[in-house]
Chain A
Amino acid sequence: MNKYRIKAFGITKDLLGGKETFIEIDGEKVADLRAALNERYPELLGLKSLFIAVNNDYADDTIRLNPSDEIALIPPVSGG
């Protein structure tokens, strides 16, 4: 099992109930993390989009994660 620290912003902060959470998963890809998050927080599926950022960059589902990575949930952005 790999344990990851996840930062949450915008509406995901409300859905996860805080700015940060930890999650343990079997896999090590962004896709595995996404599946685990959707299972634990099904409301994430109701968002228009949800990107996962790894080390300050948008990461696609094939990216491999490291427990030391900075991982963040990026719901639809609305700056400006």
Chain B
Amino acid sequence: MTITTEPQRATQPAKPPATRRRRSGVADRGANRLFRYLTTGSGVLILIALAAVAGFLLWQAWPAFTTGSDELATKVSFLQGEGSLLAYLGPLVFGTVLAAVLALAIATPLAIGIALFTSHYAPRRLAQVLGYVVDLLAAIPSVVYGLWGALVLAPLVQPIWGWVSDVLGWIPLFAGPAADPARVLLTVAVILAVMILPIITAVTREVFLQTPKLHEEAALALGATRWEMIRTAVLPFGRSGIVSAAMLGLGRALGETMAVVMILSPGLTYSFALLLAGKQQTIAANIALKYPEANELGMSTLMATGLALFVITMVVNMLSRWIVARRKDFSGAN
């Protein structure tokens, strides 16, 4: 999947000579026209599909928006005691974003480390193998990560979380006592970080490899150590690439369902306590947990939360595209 996000190739489209377009205008009939309609139609179909995703979610969620808070609360079992739809949605959005941001905070530095390791430190042969392994790991299904997280990782980290809450308990993030078993947000964040690590690594590595050799060698010639060369030549060049890779990872983490379902003890509060159980929940996991027993209005409520997730990921994606586009403008020389 590295190709899809590789900015360099995207900057060299097949140049459309003006003559060709005029030509195709002349000969645009019969099979030619049909084929053009077919391909254009497919493009339009994608736009329609995306609109349909948003449209259908909105349409299915509509009853939840229009039904009064009181009626909604009596008819939807999981809304009891939550008040309105917004009061229900708020903590979910909070939990979703918190988990994803945490995962990102753990994964990004590591990913940059591995990317630098494979691009500038490891011997060439090893680097190739590593790159290949990272690509393969990106394809491991999330349910397998969930299985591993719930049955292997959670028991393993519990004593560590206990120690963290004893030592750093004065920081609200790590307020104790750490939950036992460790079905808490920090465990989820670690799993999500492991899951998005390969994606971020793959993208940043591509960017680092594209650093102009001249910049690197110039830095070295000036007497820079290897680290100084990386800091002065590689990182500035790759900065926007790192940001967009991180955004890509953020998008993945936001929408991840199964690993969260299998690990987290959910709760609906605006709490930053990462080591306490039952404090946060993510939108995706909440949908997967609640839909089997949801009635019609309950399903509408879940659709509304799904719509919120859709909007959040859209915004994140647009932001990352925007950053990539800006980079293109600035680094035209490359």
Are A and B associated in one complex?
A: no
